[in-house]
Structure 1
Amino acid sequence: MKPVLIIRTGRAPDSIRARHGDFPHWFRVAAGLRPERLRIVDVAAGEALPAAGEVAGAIVTGSAAMVTEKLAWSEATAGWIRDAMDVNLPLFGVCYGHQLMTHALGGRVDYLPGGREIGTQSIETAPGHPHDLLAGGLPARFRAHTTHEQSVLEPPAGAQVLASSARDPNQLLRYGPNAISVQFHPEFNAEVMRAYIRRKRDDLHREGADAARIFSAVGATPIARRLLRRFARRHGWTSA
Structure 2
Amino acid sequence: MKIGILQTGHAPDQLIDTAGDYDQMFRTLLDGHGFEFKTYAVLDGIFPSGPEAADGWLITGSKFGVYEDHDWIPPLENLIRDINAQALPMVGICFGHQIIAQALGGTVEKYSGGWAVGRVKYDQDGQELALNAWHQDQVMTLPEGARVLAGNEFCKNGVLAYGDTIWTLQPHPEFASPFVADLIETRGRGVVPDDILDRARDDLHGPLNSHTIAAFMAEFLKKERI
Match status 1:3 vs 2:2:
yes
**How far 1:106 moved relative to its partner?**
0.3
Alignment of 1:61-76 (within 5 A): 61-76=60-75
Query: Unaligned stretches of 5+ in structure 2?
Result: none
Other-structure match for 1:183: 170
Identity across the alignment (%)? 26
Match status 1:145 vs 2:132:
yes
Match status 1:201 vs 2:189:
yes
Runs of 4+ in 1 over 6 A off after TM superposition: none
Q: Secondary structure at the match of 2:195?
A: coil
Task: Confirm or deny: 8 A CA contact 1:94 1:184 kept in the other structure.
Answer: yes
Aligned residues between the structures: 222
Query: Unaligned stretches of 5+ in structure 1?
Result: 128-138
Other-structure match for 1:49: 48
Task: Confirm or deny: 8 A CA contact 1:28 1:34 kept in the other structure.
Answer: no
Q: Secondary structure at the match of 1:174?
A: strand
**How far 1:64 moved relative to its partner?**
1.1
Name the TM-score, length of structure 2 as normaliser: 0.90
Distance 1:78 1:197, change over 3 A: same
Task: Confirm or deny: 8 A CA contact 2:80 2:103 kept in the other structure.
Answer: yes
**How far 1:208 moved relative to its partner?**
5.9
The whole-number CA distance in structure 2 between the counterparts of 1:186 and 1:16 is 18
The whole-number CA distance in structure 1 between the counterparts of 2:71 and 2:163 is 26
Alignment of 1:14-25 (within 5 A): 14-25=13-24
Other-structure match for 1:232: 218
Name the TM-score, length of structure 1 as normaliser: 0.85
Distance 1:82 1:19, change over 3 A: same
Instruction: Compute the RMSD of aligned alpha carbons.
Output: 2.0
Other-structure match for 1:79: 78
- State which drifts further: 139-148 or 216-225: 216-225
Task: Confirm or deny: 8 A CA contact 1:122 1:144 kept in the other structure.
Answer: yes
Other-structure match for 1:219: 205
Distance 1:122 1:37, change over 3 A: same
Cα deviation digits, residues 31-64 of structure 1 (max 9, x gap): 1268981111001101122321231101100111
Task: Confirm or deny: 8 A CA contact 1:187 1:225 kept in the other structure.
Answer: no
Q: Secondary structure at the match of 1:235?
A: helix
Task: Confirm or deny: 8 A CA contact 1:32 1:229 kept in the other structure.
Answer: no
Other-structure match for 1:26: 25
Distance 1:220 1:81, change over 3 A: farther
Task: Confirm or deny: 8 A CA contact 1:118 1:145 kept in the other structure.
Answer: yes
Cα deviation digits, residues 140-167 of structure 1 (max 9, x gap): 1121111112111111111000111231
Q: Secondary structure at the match of 1:203?
A: coil
Q: Secondary structure at the match of 1:202?
A: coil
Distance 1:221 1:97, change over 3 A: farther
The whole-number CA distance in structure 2 between the counterparts of 1:167 and 1:96 is 17
